[in-house]
A and B are shown apart, each in its own frame.
Chain A
Amino acid sequence: MIRYIASRLAIAVGLLLGLMTLSFGLVSLLPGDPAVALLGEYATPADIARIHGELGLDKPLWERYVEYIGRTISGDLGHSFFTGSSVSQELWTRLPNTLVYLVPGLILALLLGLAMGTFAAYRSGRLPDKTFTAGVSVLMAMPEFVLALLLLFVFYQQLHIAPAPLGMLSSSDIPPPKVTGSVVLDAVIAGKWKVFGSIFSRAVLPIVTMGLFFAAPFGKTVRTGLLQILHSPQIEFARACGLRPFQVYRYALSDVRAALMTYMVLLFAAALSGAAIVESVFSWPGIGGWSLDGVLKGDMPVIQGFVFVMGATSLLGYVVLDTLITLLDPRARAVAIRGRSSRSSLDTPSLDTPIPHQ
């Protein structure tokens, strides 16, 4: 098993290198000169040359590439061309802010999807199922920001339950002492649960937005998967053995598990790179708004850093997913551990093979 996990990790390292190359290549080959962006259109050639020198853009591509790889491996993602702040530091501060609403949001989506998909599958073809299908279509057709604005309209504007969409902390909250730079982590470290609670209450609407938005694909996956397995011989046999409905459901769910986990990672990656939309609605100081800003300005190190970290996070997610799915399924596990099919280990010599002619 250790060998299997090690081989997964080796593949991951290789892919990471590829990802670094890609994030460097894509951004370096993009049209547009950051020096022009910095100085404006009327900059003199001398000024542009000076900026190129400062940013290291006058060196040949391969030299910049080697330098980039070296720096990235040592954890330095460079500095923003415009603000001069460290990209790694920015990511480290902002990523937890994004995760604080994104992870609960996805879990909420999973639970909602599971509930809706199960209900639809068990009432297939009837009113609840049709309502579900219609609901999913509506949810899927609705852009995230519309959903977010709708929620704000109802819960902030009309009902006054939710706090104003003005970021993570209210003006009355005292920020926790700086340890990591990330307000969320610092609040936890300092044990400032009031601040953490305040952050969380502000995160509720973004979480619900995420939950509703991503519940649709989860629900669809659950419904399709369950419908298929509920008609399968496996479930028929489980029912014929008199298993309780909930146990039968658990048998069925174990079949859908892998698909759900795959979706979780896929949507996590998608949500992370699409965080800008929700974050601009709620003025959330996460990575979304920051990266969007970087992209619009052509801030190369920011784009590179963002692409690399998002890619690496997704990659890590996929590796963990792949390993988990393999280890959770005894069939795949046996193959992965022994490197071959485990059949024959328990087989009696030839009960199923024709008796050889003497």
Chain B
Amino acid sequence: MFRALSARLFQGYRTNKFPAAAPALPERFRGRPVIAADAKLDPSCCPTGALGKDCLDMGRCIFCGNCSKCGVVFTKEYRLGAFDRSSLIVKQGEELPEVVVKKDTPMAKLCSKSLKIRQVSAGGCSACELDFNVLGTLAWDMGRLGIQVVASPRHADCLLVTGPVSKNMLTALKKTYDAMSEPKFVIANGACAISGGLFAGSDEICAPLDEIMKVDFYVPGCPPHPAVLLEALVRFKGGSAGAI
């Protein structure tokens, strides 16, 4: 036991300061894109069809940065989560918008102190799951914000779905959703769940998720950085977190 205690002293207190302070993001982090008014966009450079002639759909974007060549600038703005699908469209010439905080949503009224999440992995590559799991580690410790993962859908307020909903997961996903009691909310996490992402052209998937069930919140990314997801979860339940 003494060894465990001395180990604890050696390792120290390591939970980061987010959401009170801005998160530490890598130098090359690619956050919310902005498109200069005079940029000539080339949609053919985009692997997921996110880039249009005069806009970029963050719901399909994998933030690969290919379109940096034709004038899209990826900023450090990591607060990407949105309450509706249309807010994920970045229009040419538009400046970075104000981050939307809503305190009067049903989610905010019910879950502001405690949010229980049942996650379902519905296809995909597992990176979204891995970076969601990171929020449970002591570096991010989402439990201190009242956010917790639960095993049973019966205990969950919210279903967090990752992956493009493969045909073989459709039944299991629907059954999990049906097993949740009302009121219940759904978060589409990652490009796959929002739009099919890289797999949008496959005949083996059912995404977008919002055509299968009502989605209350969207978190873009491939996968969303833990800071992106945690900020989104805080805002989902009516709070606001770490400005840049």
A and B associate: no
